Structure 1
Amino acid sequence: MADFIKTSDLQERITFIDMIEDVDKYGRPIQKESEIFSCWASVRSQMLKDKVATIGTILENTITFVIRYEQVAKLQNTMKISWNNKKFEIVSIDEGYFKSDFTTIIAKEVSK
């Protein structure tokens, strides 16, 4: 995928969110969402042929985020992505091991 992506294509700002351990005002442990880091991404929705091909699969209604390989934190499947006031669960992470240039993330919007 990285062969046709250029750094100038990364024009959308996305934020990675993960659950962290915290305590409430009574000292009880709770889980809360915390922003891990933000970065620039190229966002690609599915083409019609992809939508038809993925009906009934885990990849149905997914969106693709392409980001730089080097980031301030390691990506994990437990993280969520925030983009355009929507949240997305990560389905797949394909790191650019060969050239160490771009990472492709497939994500599905979280239902409200």
Structure 2
Amino acid sequence: MAIVNNVNQLNERITFQENRPMRTPDGVSYTEQVDVFSTWAYVRQQYLNEIASTAGTTLKDTITFVIRYDQPQEIDTSMAIKWNGAVYQIVKANPDLANKQWTTLIVRKQ
């Protein structure tokens, strides 16, 4: 079964963010979450049996985004995703190394 049947399913805009070191004019260092790039995503629905099977595990209360494999920057778990006004931490990124079509991102709301 295909993860995404039609590219029209990629109908949600998500923005990737990462922490970047910054300095104030006084020279004080701090980190700021900066937008890196945006892409279209498919928000995969979690079925009842999946919700029940993840209860009490590290995958509890997660959302799955599916995006195209080829992105402007490599995605890692230090990044966050901004979607619908909320920020989500990437728990796991699963690129499709065989077909190079889709990357599945499992995220949890911060």
TM-score range, shorter chain: over 0.9
Shift of 1:89: 0.7
Matched residue, 1:33: 33
1:92 partnered with 2:92:
yes
> Percent same amino acid among aligned pairs?
35
Q: 4+ runs of 1 displaced by more than 4 Å?
A: none
Instruction: Provide the aligned C-alpha RMSD in A.
Output: 1.1
CA distance in 2, matches of 1:84, 1:18: 18
What is the count of residue pairs matched by the alignment?
A: 109
Shift of 1:69: 0.4
Give ranges in structure 1 of 5+ residues lacking alignment.
Answer: none
Q: What is the TM-score of this pair, normalised by structure 1? A: 0.92
Secondary structure at the counterpart of residue 52 of structure 1: helix
Question: In structure 2, do the counterparts of structure 1 residues 52 and 86 end up closer, same or farther at CA, with 3 Å as the change threshold?
Answer: same
Shift of 1:20: 0.3
Alpha carbons 1:14, 1:39 under 8 Å: kept: yes
Alpha carbons 1:62, 1:106 under 8 Å: kept: yes
Give ranges in structure 2 of 5+ residues lacking alignment.
Answer: none
Q: What is the TM-score of this pair, normalised by structure 2? A: 0.94
CA displacement, residues 28-66 of structure 1 (integer Å, 9 cap, x when unaligned): 111110001000000123221111111110100110000
1:81 partnered with 2:81:
yes
